[in-house]
Structure 1
């Protein structure tokens, strides 16, 4: 595997290996600024292998850790932000993330309540499995920002206009980045080329994550720029992909609306799942139930009428 792939002038993709046997890698990006320094987007997992992949890419670019001017985090999940602490220690560079994501990370550190499995109608024999899957992530992998970002901010990247776009849904403070002159959108996990990202994966929010996500899809889709996602590969056709993702969630909401009675468990069993309901175990089952609960709330709030 090559150390990096150049996507556009001064923008380089680095495949960061992921542990666990699921997706093989996340995608980090190295952005060169007009002063010859680097800005890292999503350094990846908190492993030696991940740090080594970034180090090799910088070496291949003829750069050292001292050349890193900033570390931007699209969202708090460990496969994107777990390597922040080690990279900050090696480079001394500040860590930047959206202010809402910083609040979500702090809430996770304090401890989030587990879902009410009884209220969801989960059979007693399946509850221990789900309780284990719902354990909070290690606070050691959560990023601590030095700089808080807000929607519409321009990053301090000399020679480039990179704007912060707040796109909640996957997590409360997920952000995308729009390089306005290169017409590139760093989409994190908000939009992936073939995978449907889970929603509501950063703790409770005052608004419905599905409704929030649909707003963000419309905003990002309107750019129709080349997409640089957090997994898989860069792609074009962003407008078509965001429309397909929106229809996926609206279709799921219509499925849920067709079964207004029963518990979350009862409704989830009637829905269409990629690998089939019976194949869902542990975290995938927990995610399916959580998504069903979010869709029920979305329907109850009139989301289908708005959509």
Structure 2
């Protein structure tokens, strides 16, 4: 994830506690071992039929203990959980959903687009081809052989396969309450926010965070059949229409005006697109995705980014290049690896 404010208000995990945040909603911080994000905020919503969780946290013994003990601390036995709604398939959100289901019989729900990815990843990890896939996409983006070897990373085990496929506008099975699915693709194809209509609060997952912006990338980097950044910008506009309601994000802290923050993030990416086009105009020759990513501004200089972070930066560069291509401001060449130039 990229920062767009001077300092995140995220506090250390050691300072976090499970909390009653009113209206029959509790938050439980669940650690992400070895990750600078620190923790995922899992939310529990009460209902007469049992509590429903929004996200579940990373699949790790310490995270499982934190989730179980945190729920117990606010009076919830994990065995009583009715269901888990996963905002998106990423492991810090979906990882423990299967263990919750094993201990409670709860259902797991996720948007249908991310369920398709979970099925794909289970097949890829199962046949051992994921490292070859990563290396191939890095080469196609223009990374050198030494950069490819350094950037190929370990992929966590895929999450449990959900029981329920959600689509935009679906109401979650939460007796006595109204929790509605809002499809907000961008950070992932099936990312969802959840509008608790009876309290006018929005669980934003990673879509809208108070101080950082979610990673928006394309994988493989050279795909020309999707536009994740365009989808993300449209999703932000949907959230703006909800007005100044409280946001309950999966990271950092709760905040009061989700529409205002969505507008800030929208403006941030518009500025980033303008900067990228200006950068390409200064160097009009064809450049690979990897070359362009190395010239863009990140939260630290390119030569100080770890190999994995360079791979993520290239994915984000690819998403911004694709948005400019869709707007017909740049075009791609037929080269291998693909290159982009200012549209003539």
Supply the distance in 1 between the matched residues of 2:225 and 2:207 (Cα, whole angstroms).
19
1:127–1:57 CA distance, 2 compared to 1 (3 A) = closer
The count of residues paired between Structure 1 and Structure 2 equals 300
Instruction: Give SS of 1:153's match.
Output: coil
Measured at CA, do residues 129 and 53 of structure 1 come closer, stay the same or move farther in structure 2, by a change above 3 Å? same
Equivalence for 2:235: 216
In structure 1, what is the equivalent of residue 324 of structure 2?
Answer: 299
Aligned match of 1:91:
104
Aligned partners of 2:313 and 2:302: how far apart in 1? 9
**TM-score using structure 1 length:** 0.91
Q: How does 1:23-172 map to 2 (within 5 A)?
A: 23-33=37-47, 35=48, 37-111=50-124, 113-114=133-134, 115-130=136-151, 132-133=152-153, 135-139=154-158, 142-172=159-189
Moved more, 260-269 or 82-91: 260-269
Structure 1, unmatched stretches of 5+, are none
Cα distance in structure 2, aligned partners of 1:56 and 1:6: 14
Q: State whether residues 169 and 212 of structure 1, in contact with CA within 8 Å, keep that contact through their aligned partners in structure 2.
A: yes
Q: Is the 8 A contact 2:205 2:250 kept in 1?
A: yes
Residue 23 of structure 2: which of 2, 6, 9 is its match? 9
In structure 1, what is the Cα distance between the partners aligned to 2:31 and 2:25?
A: 20
Alignment of 1:195-206 (within 5 A): 195-200=212-217, 206=225
SS in 1 for 2:171: coil
Could you give the per-residue CA deviations for residues 150-191 of structure 1, whole angstroms, max 9, x where no partner exists? 100011111211100111111111111000121111010111
Distance 1:45 1:201 in 2: 23
In 2, are the aligned partners of 1:172 and 1:205 still within 8 Å (CA)?
no
Runs of 5+ in structure 2 lacking a partner? Answer: 1-14, 125-129, 331-344
What is the distance in 1 between the residues matched to 2:86 and 2:75? 24
Alpha carbons of 1:172 and 1:81: their partners in 2 closer, same or farther (altered >3 Å)? same
Deviation, structure 1 residue 253: 1.7
Structure 1 residue 43: Cα displacement: 1.1
Hey, what's the Cα distance between the residues in 1 that align with 2:224 and 2:25? 34
Separation (CA, whole Å) in 1 of partners of 2:269 and 2:160: 29
Match of 1:192?
209
Secondary structure in structure 1 of the residue aligned to 2:271: helix
Report the counterpart of residue 228 of structure 1 in structure 2.
Answer: 248
Q: 1:176 aligns with which of 193, 198, 202?
A: 193
- 2:257 pairs, out of 234, 237, 241, with 237
| Secondary structure, counterpart of 1:151 in structure 2 | coil
**1:232-274 deviations in Å (ceiling 9; x for gaps):** 1111221221111112222222222220531112222221111
- 56-65 or 18-27: bigger deviation: 56-65
* Map of 1:20 onto structure 2: 34
The 1-side partners of 2:178 and 2:224 are apart by 30
Instruction: Report the more deviating stretch, 173-182 or 114-123.
Output: 114-123
Does structure 2 conserve the Cα–Cα contact (< 8 Å) formed by 1:3 and 1:56?
no
More displaced, 100-109 or 205-214? 205-214
